[in-house]
Structure 1
Amino acid sequence: MTDVSAAERNKTLVLHSFDQFAAGNIEVLRTLLREDFIEHSPGNPSGRDAFVDFIATAPVANAKLDLKRIVADDEYVVVHYRMVTPEDECDVAVVDIWRLVDGQIVEHWDVVQPVPEPSEVPHGMF
């Protein structure tokens, strides 16, 4: 019997939750985030319920999320994806960094940038 690493458990948990969220299940965040969840992105609230309420009205809630890669290292899981929203003229590249403890997300950071025209990035954004 093989022992699954913390990184693999966290990666599987985040991947399953990402799939649920991308399918429109915003409430999955209420079980995934710890109550005292800390948000590091400017303008986004900390605390599970405040964050979920905020995300429910943010563009990401109605976006198409195209997962490109997921990387896990012990307690950190990094998700890189393309976000397509009806409101934006161009797509958005997003990198989310989640820190997990005991199967719940306790902290989040992100990097978000518009996807430029292909001619501006000859090797692609993804």
Structure 2
Amino acid sequence: MSIEENKKNAIAFYKAAYEGSPKAAIEKYVGNQYIQHNPDVADGLQGFIDYFERMQSDYPNKSIEFVRCIGEGDLVALHTHQTWPGNDQYVTMDFFRFDENGKICEHWDAIQQIPEKSANPNTMY
């Protein structure tokens, strides 16, 4: 798979899971294993599905915007802007590793809430 295909697939995978179809996302974009580094999500395929199904049930009106996508080697990085109920907003940076078959096999992320006030006029994305 090319870097461009991996970038397209990382966005499609995350979007599908975030919008309520984590099982379909796993079936289409993930290989036989999924190593999870987010401490709030259980390791493995089922841990991912359970987490995103719970998020969809608890917060069906959340939204996500993909601000940028960067690929290098077998890694893809996504920079997103998430809005949750009550206008609770977050910036996330997600990193996905792809296996030799072009399937996602590992994930890391960093999440930061967007504060109401900033010491500068720049956005976080």
- Contact 1:67/1:80, CA 8 A, preserved across alignment: yes
Aligned equivalent of 1:83: 82
SS state at 1:57 partner = helix
Regions of 4+ moved over 4 Å: none
User: TM-score, normalising length from structure 2?
Assistant: 0.81
Partners of 1:107 and 1:58 lie apart in 2 by 20
Segments of 5+ residues of structure 1 without an aligned counterpart are: none
**Residues 33-48 of structure 1 correspond to what in structure 2 (within 5 A)?**
33-48=30-45
Post-superposition Cα deviations, 1:92-122, rounded to whole Å, max 9, x if no partner, equal 1111100011121110000000012254342
Aligned equivalent of 1:66: 65
Residue 61 and residue 35 in structure 1: after superposition, are their counterparts in 2 closer, same or farther (change >3 A)?
A: farther
Partners of 1:41 and 1:111 lie apart in 2 by 8
Segments of 5+ residues of structure 2 without an aligned counterpart are: none
Task: Quote the sequence identity (%).
Answer: 23
1:120 pairs with 2:116: no
- Contact 1:37/1:106, CA 8 A, preserved across alignment: yes
Residue 65 and residue 119 in structure 1: after superposition, are their counterparts in 2 closer, same or farther (change >3 A)?
A: same
Deviation at 1:61, TM superposition (A): 6.5
Deviation at 1:26, TM superposition (A): 2.7
Post-superposition Cα deviations, 1:44-100, rounded to whole Å, max 9, x if no partner, equal 1111122111221136963200111111112101111111111x5530111110001
- Contact 2:22/2:48, CA 8 A, preserved across alignment: no
Partners of 2:102 and 2:118 lie apart in 1 by 42
Equivalent pairs counted in the alignment come to: 121
Aligned equivalent of 2:109: 110
User: TM-score, normalising length from structure 1?
Assistant: 0.81
